[in-house]
Amino acid sequence: MADQAHDENVPAAPGPTGLDPEAEGLYRLLLSRTDASVSRLAADAGLGPARTRDLLMRLVDDGFATMVADSRFRAVGPDTVLGGRIASQLGDVLGEYEALRELLEIHRAGPGSGGGDHGSWEVVTGPVAIRSRLRQLKAGAEKRLRTFVRPPMVLPVPEPALHEDLQARGICHRILFDRAVLDIDPYSDYLRHALSSGDEVRFAKRLPLKLLIVDDKTALMEEGGGRPKAIVTSNRSIVEIAGALFDQLWSTGIPATTAASSAERLDEDDAVLLGLLISGLTDQSIATKLGIGLRTVQRRVRELMDLADVDTRIQLGWHAAKNGWVP
């Protein structure tokens, strides 16, 4: 019993927001209210009035809330209070970014989202509107663009005129593809255009969202599920977070290198096997042609996929072609 009492007095570890679970729960509740009284929040949170006031005063002290009357409180927008904190502590940028994005969604849905510092973001809904906004943002770039591309894509093959204009103005464009696009035929034109365009292209195993960052000033983030919806923001903290996320995943991406730059080389037997595989022969046909067993073919293909660090045979074929593994 003594041990149990001791455990109950130990404060819970803070989450990604820096708040303990009880305080974060109250902050989430406050975000969904315009202005809220202590008594109303206490009833909704299932807490006593005294405990609720103590938590609210802690939120005020930590910058998450303000007092608008002696017993009424208002949430400070998460992009204001949380964005700067996360931007300065990017040790685990993916997890922290998701925490911020979830809080922003609660704040946008709340009735109090019409005032204060909310002019720095907008919501764009529908593929046509998103395409139009993407073109507008890209056309206005002054120095560089950074893009995450993952299925499903609302944008067709980039317009040649826009792309030529960007290149003529010396705009640096880095494109990080989710590797899943290699397995989807409708995206082959988009991928082919990116690889031949002169832009910097890399591939990631998995991207958490669709993203466009323009000149370190504006970010467009497209959310998955249901009807396409994108968030456009010029909030400095959020753009910094998005940029850090991009740079982290870019640094670990696989460059779309040319064959001449590849340091990997296959022995002759594996090169022949891979050539037959790319030509469209079945595993059994390859085994017959090479005079080896079916299981041997399957094992060597698996080893080649591991060597290329890919998940599918289509990805293996792309990697082989790009890196000169086959003539």
172: Cβ contacts below 8 Å, ≥ 6 apart: 143, 144, 145, 200
Four-way CATH pick for 121-255: 3.40.50.10800, 3.40.50.300, 3.40.50.150, 3.30.870.10: 3.30.870.10
221: Cβ contacts below 8 Å, ≥ 6 apart: 101, 209, 210, 211, 230, 231, 233, 242
Same fold, 12-109 and 121-255: no
Query: Which stretch, 65-79, 108-122, 164-178, 272-286, has highest mean pLDDT?
Result: 164-178
Q: Domain 12-109 adopts which CATH fold?
A: Arc Repressor Mutant, subunit A (1.10.10)
Q: Delimit the domains of the chain by residue range.
A: 12-109, 121-255, 259-322
CATH class of the domain comprising 259-322: mainly alpha
- Rounded Cα–Cα distance for residues 113 and 109 (Å): 7
Which two tokens mark 300? 């060597």
In the prediction, which pLDDT does 8 show?
Answer: 42
pLDDT > 90 fraction of the chain, expressed in percent and rounded: 6
**Token match 């902050």: residue?**
27
User: What pTM value is reported for the model?
Assistant: 0.51
**Token match 């922003």: residue?**
104
pLDDT > 70 fraction of the chain, expressed in percent and rounded: 69
